[in-house]
């Protein structure tokens, strides 16, 4: 595969979607063909899985079922969007990828899923494939949740299933992302997201230039 695969990760309200678009515009200005994708819900099948995941009763799935659904969505994203684009020499930027499963379903839920199970699922779904670069947007959950609440008020479709998660969950999640970055420093870079949009964008493109040489 010739293109590059960049993933953007972070807790709720870290500004991922805005930064994803700005990064895509920057890369396009450098004549790079960019494909944007997201998890969950980038394919027709994934949209159905997303609907299952983000609506309804908070306890309707246990942690394992939730992981399996995210991984089914991931497999669709890889096979239908990510891998074909990389083969065409395009760069793919994904709004969330496997680190979200580890952070949300493992660290967020106080390690209710076995770590090796998660790793095995990854292997089944993606083999040895991994992102060339993962940018983790780090924000204090108190600030992130305020931002994310403001955004949800203006959403047409209410994706409320995860709204009642406690602050403890969001703090665990943040620590989870930081642990992943510490474990895999060659792939992951943590960037402070508690800044204005322009400053954050500048830090992101500096990182991409440094790591991937645009």
Residues of the shown chain interacting with ligand TYD in the complex, contacts defined by CB under 6 A: 12, 16, 39-40, 54, 70, 95-96, 100-101, 104-105, 148, 162
Measured from the CB of residue 11, what is the shortest distance to ligand TYD in angstroms?
8
Helix (H, G, I), strand (E, B) or coil at 10: strand
Nearer to ligand TYD, 120 or 209 (CB): 120
Measured from the CB of residue 155, what is the shortest distance to ligand TYD in angstroms?
10
Nearer to ligand TYD, 29 or 57 (CB): 57
DSSP-assigned letters across all residues of 167-186: HHHHHHHHHHHHHHHHH-TT
CB contact at 8 A, 125 and 78: yes
Minimal CB distance residue for ligand TYD: 104
Measured from the CB of residue 110, what is the shortest distance to ligand TYD in angstroms?
14
Nearer to ligand TYD, 32 or 75 (CB): 75
**Across the beta sheet with 188-192, what order do the strands follow?**
34-38, 91-95, 5-10, 133-138, 188-192
User: Which residues are 189's β-sheet partners?
Assistant: 135
DSSP-assigned letters across all residues of 111-179: T-S-HHHHHHHHHHHHTT---SEEEEEE--HHHHHHHHHHHHHT-SS---TTTT--HHHHHHHHHHHHH
Measured from the CB of residue 10, what is the shortest distance to ligand TYD in angstroms?
8
Measured from the CB of residue 103, what is the shortest distance to ligand TYD in angstroms?
8
Nearer to ligand TYD, 16 or 201 (CB): 16
Measured from the CB of residue 167, what is the shortest distance to ligand TYD in angstroms?
15
Nearer to ligand TYD, 91 or 169 (CB): 169
Nearer to ligand TYD, 4 or 50 (CB): 50
Long-range CB contacts (within 8 A, 24+) of 181-189: 181/134, 181/136, 184/134, 187/130, 187/131, 187/132, 187/133, 187/134, 188/99, 188/134, 188/135, 188/136, 189/133, 189/134, 189/135, 189/136
């Amino acid at each position: 595969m010739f293109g590059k695969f960049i993933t953007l990760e972070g807790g709720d309200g870290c500004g991922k979607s805005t930064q994803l678009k700005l990064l895509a515009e920057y890369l396009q200005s450098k004549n790079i063909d960019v494909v944007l994708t997201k998890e969950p819900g980038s394919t027709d099948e994934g949209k159905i899985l997303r609907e299952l995941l983000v609506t309804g009763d908070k306890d309707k799935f246990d942690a394992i079922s939730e992981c399996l659904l995210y991984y089914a969505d991931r497999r669709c994203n890889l096979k239908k969007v990510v891998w074909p684009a990389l083969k065409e020499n395009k760069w793919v930027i994904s709004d969330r990828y496997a680190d979200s499963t580890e952070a949300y379903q493992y660290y967020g839920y106080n390690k209710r899923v076995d770590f090796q199970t998660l790793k095995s699922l990854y292997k089944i779904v993606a083999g040895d494939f991994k992102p060339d670069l993962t940018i983790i947007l780090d924000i204090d959950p108190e600030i992130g949740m305020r931002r994310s609440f403001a955004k949800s008020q203006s959403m047409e479709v209410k994706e409320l299933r995860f709204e009642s998660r406690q602050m403890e969950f969001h703090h665990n999640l943040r620590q989870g992302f930081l642990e992943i970055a510490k474990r895999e420093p060659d792939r992951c870079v943590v960037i402070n997201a508690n800044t204005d949009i322009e400053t954050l964008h500048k830090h992101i493109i500096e990182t991409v230039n440094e790591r991937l040489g645009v």
